[in-house]
Amino acid sequence: MRRTFFLSAIFYLLFSIPIYSQDNDSLAIKKFFDNALSDTTSYNNLRFLCTRIGGRICGSPQAEKAVQWSRTVLDNMGLDTVYLQKCMVRRWVRGNDETVTVYPGQKDNIPLHACALGGSVGTGEKGIKAEVIEVKDYDELKRLGTRNIEGKIVFINHPADPAFYYTFSAYGGVAGFRVFGALQAARYGAAAVVVRSATIAHDWYPHTGIMHYADTIKKIPAAAISTLDADLLSSLLQKDPGLTLLIRLSCKEDPETVSYNVIGEIRGSEYPGEVIAFGGHLDSWDIGQGAHDDGTGVVQTIEVLRLFRALKIKPKRTLRVVVFMDEEVDQRGAKVYADEAKRDHVKHIAAIECDRGGTTPFGFSIDASDDQVKRIRSWKNLLLPYGIYMFEKGGSGVDIRDLKSAGTPLIALVTDSQRYFDFHHSPADTFDKVNQRELQLGSAAVAGLVFLIDKYGF
């Protein structure tokens, strides 16, 4: 009886636990990194996207050019399938006039470095000139109330906390003032709102980003000013609390238009109905080139398919790159993708998003069950030689989050975030800020993880 039990236990261990061929897997991972670090395809793709197309807010001619460019790149790779997935998007147009000027008493006026927030209404040709009042947060706004705010321009000056090591936490502490500042100020009759840029950096770059209104509250214009200009304005207000500000924005909202996600696949040889999806978002804000946010994520995930083709690795499962549209405004591309996947009963084995910049990769953040996280962590030693050491349970990304309801493990590439918000949503987000080697390390890291998921599953 004991012998039978012992043999049964051995049989169970052999056939219920994956046997990882470490030597073969290590060699395969090495080939991904060797090829990625020796090839310039991804970097050249990013150069074209950023310098030849540039900023590409959804609904713009640049976004349409980027869609066609993405499709051409995937078509030229000789994939099994390439197609466009239609989605309707908003069409907010920035316009040419973005003026924020301080009028400090009898002194000469001072122009500030400013930009309209995404989705803001315009001011009209004459602009809005009114007394400006500074607040640090919404509690202070509430304490001042309508009596002190009505008819004035509210200046929300809440600096990002530099004490956070993880800069996304610092950003999370200030982004809400950009998103809801106009809505909250309008409750008390403000004429317009100006916010301090959502960045840790102290420079002259204004940072844009989406903001929201409510249908039941008057829509007022909203702009961001650079952090150095915010410091300047605050110091001027300390000397002259009654100074005035002129805001002139020519932004507007045009009718919605058609755009597309761009999808390319290598079909699985054994389990074609099981999909490993990975991608980044093609749209970007229009005041920069959309390099780190998120041109790098787009070219990195396209590169995954190139690496599999270059190394002649035939995946068992279908590998699918999804170049998402409209992450920055309404995430309609993500919603369409998730809805159609649900309608068509697509079985996603995993979904990976690259949208944290193209700096040095550290590892992966995993939104999945404990067992799935444990499985991914079991591959850590294969990626550790390339600096990929972090395999933590946590968040994933905006474009793949709607797949969670179907039980899909969601994964995000985690990169060094220290410089990311220096560039994020600003004119500084340009191709020259991306290091080729750091970019390619990210491509290889994602390709290596995709290889392991494809080989061993969950």
Q: Identity (one letter) of the amino acid at 215?
A: D
**For the chain, how far is it from start to end, CA to CA, in angstroms?**
34
Q: Which helix (H) or strand (E) holds 209?
A: none
pLDDT at 304: 98
> How far is 214 from 71, CA to CA, in rounded Å?
37
Does this model's pTM top 0.75?
Answer: yes
Beta bridge partners of 266: 319
3-class DSSP assignment, residue 457: coil
Half-sphere exposure of residue 123, counting CA atoms within 13 Å on the CB side?
26
Give the pLDDT confidence score for residue 21 in this predicted structure.
61
Find, among 314, 310, 317, the residue nearest to 277 by Cα: 317
The pLDDT, as a whole number, for residue 427 is 98
**Closest residue by Cα to residue 413 from 387, 381, 385, 433:** 387
> Do the Cβ atoms of 210 and 329 come closer than 8 Å?
yes
Position 435, amino acid: N
CB burial of 254-288 (b: ≥16 within 10 Å; e: otherwise) equals eeeeebbbbbbbbebeeeeebbbbbbbbbbbbbbb
Report all structural domains of the chain as residue ranges with CATH numbers, in order of start. 19-92+255-456 (3.40.630.10), 95-250 (3.50.30.30)
- Closest to 294 (Cα-Cα) out of 203, 388, 363, 359: 359
pLDDT of residue 13: 42
Q: Is residue 260 helix, strand or coil?
A: strand
| Strand 98-103, strand 192-196: pairing | unpaired
Instruction: Decide: helix, strand or coil at residue 13.
Output: helix
What is the reported pLDDT for 107? 73
Question: Which residue in 392, 388, 347 sits closest to 370, CA to CA?
Answer: 392
Task: Spell out the per-residue pLDDT of the chain, length 458, in tens.
Answer: 445 444 454 444 444 444 456 789 999 999 999 999 999 999 999 999 999 999 999 999 999 999 999 999 999 999 999 999 999 999 999 999 999 999 987 678 999 999 999 999 999 999 999 999 999 999 999 999 999 999 999 999 999 999 999 999 999 999 999 999 999 999 999 999 999 999 999 999 999 999 999 999 999 999 999 999 999 999 999 999 989 999 999 999 999 999 999 999 999 999 999 999 999 999 999 999 999 999 999 999 999 999 999 999 999 999 999 999 999 999 999 999 999 999 999 999 999 999 999 999 999 999 999 999 999 999 999 999 999 999 999 999 999 999 999 999 999 999 999 999 999 999 999 999 999 999 999 999 999 999 999 999 98
Q: At what angle do helices 175-186 and 138-149 cross, to 10 degrees?
A: 30
Residue 290 near residue 427 (C-beta atoms within 8 A): no
Residues 247, 128 contacting (CB under 8 angstroms): yes
340-350 burial, b for 16+ CB within 10 Å, e for fewer? ebeeeebebbb
Q: Are 128 and 239 in contact (CB under 8 A)?
A: no
Instruction: Name the residues annotated as catalytic.
Output: 327
pLDDT for 286 equals 97
- Among 327, 286, 304, smallest CA distance to 57 is for 286
DSSP codes, 336-374: HHHHHHHHTT-EEEEEEE--S-SS-EEEEEEES-HHHHH
| Per-residue pLDDT at 23 | 81
Residues facing 262 on adjacent strands = 84, 323
- Cα-to-chain-centroid distance, residue 242: 39
How far does CA 218 lie from the centroid of its chain?
29
Q: Which of 189, 176, 192, 219 is nearest to 132 (CA)?
A: 192
Question: Residue 117 contacts by C-beta under 8 Å, 6 or more apart in sequence?
Answer: 178, 182, 195, 208, 209, 210, 211, 222, 223, 224
